[in-house]
Structure 1
Amino acid sequence: MTEGMTTDTEPVTVPRRVYNSLKAGLVAGTVDDVLHTVLRDPSNRTLHPGDGFGRVVAWVWERDRDEAVLLLADYLAGLREHHERAGDLGPRVRLDEMLAGLQLALPGGFTDGVQLADYTRRTIRGYYSVAD
């Protein structure tokens, strides 16, 4: 490997406020992408957040389950109300609809998909009270 190059698995340390900004940016961009995709073809309302989002959720889940649920609560809130086009989507995004799309994005080899969905259903209301 060339000096100065890094590997995909090399850890990066960032301050908490930077980490929180990275997560917020990921959520905002993912919500934007998902809404634009679904609004472009309303007949296909699969809320696939993309593999990058799935990788991040899986990574966060493996370190702190509650932090992963908070990330998903922010994502659901964006799909439902925070994005300027959330109201254009038609029927309100359901929690199970969001979780079904997430399952498509989780990385191969991630074996906690069912646990993540079950835990999220049980705990998300602590972060987003209107989640259903």
Structure 2
Amino acid sequence: MAAEIEAAELSSFEIAPDGSRCTMRVVDTCGQPASLNLPSDCLTELIMSLPRMATAALQARHRDASLRIVYPVGRMRLEQGSTEGTLILTLATPDGFEVSFSLQASDLQHIQQSAVPSELACERLRLVKN
């Protein structure tokens, strides 16, 4: 049977000098320190898994599948990617959480079209406001 650590809080993290490993330090429910040491390649898996895990936990806790975790944007940056026609959109929160996305020009057009309400959406908004 695998050892299970019931953590009460994440206390810190450490990256190996060569970048090959990541150690996450926690404090367990008895107040004792514990750690999880992972190869750095696992960080991408965590980045992809943690938002889904957090959303699933939020929805289960409140028994509401419509809930989403939403972060305010403090800064955004649009840069030319190294591949022709690729843009890099970086969004950051005021407290420093940052994520970058690869986009094509057509993605930006889709965002723009989605941001401009259609007549049907405007009508729906008027009905909701009344």
TM-score by length of 1: 0.27
Higher-RCO chain (CA-CA 8 Å, sequence separation at least 6): 1
Larger radius of gyration: 2
Greater share of strand residues, 1 or 2? 2
Greater share of helix residues, 1 or 2? 1
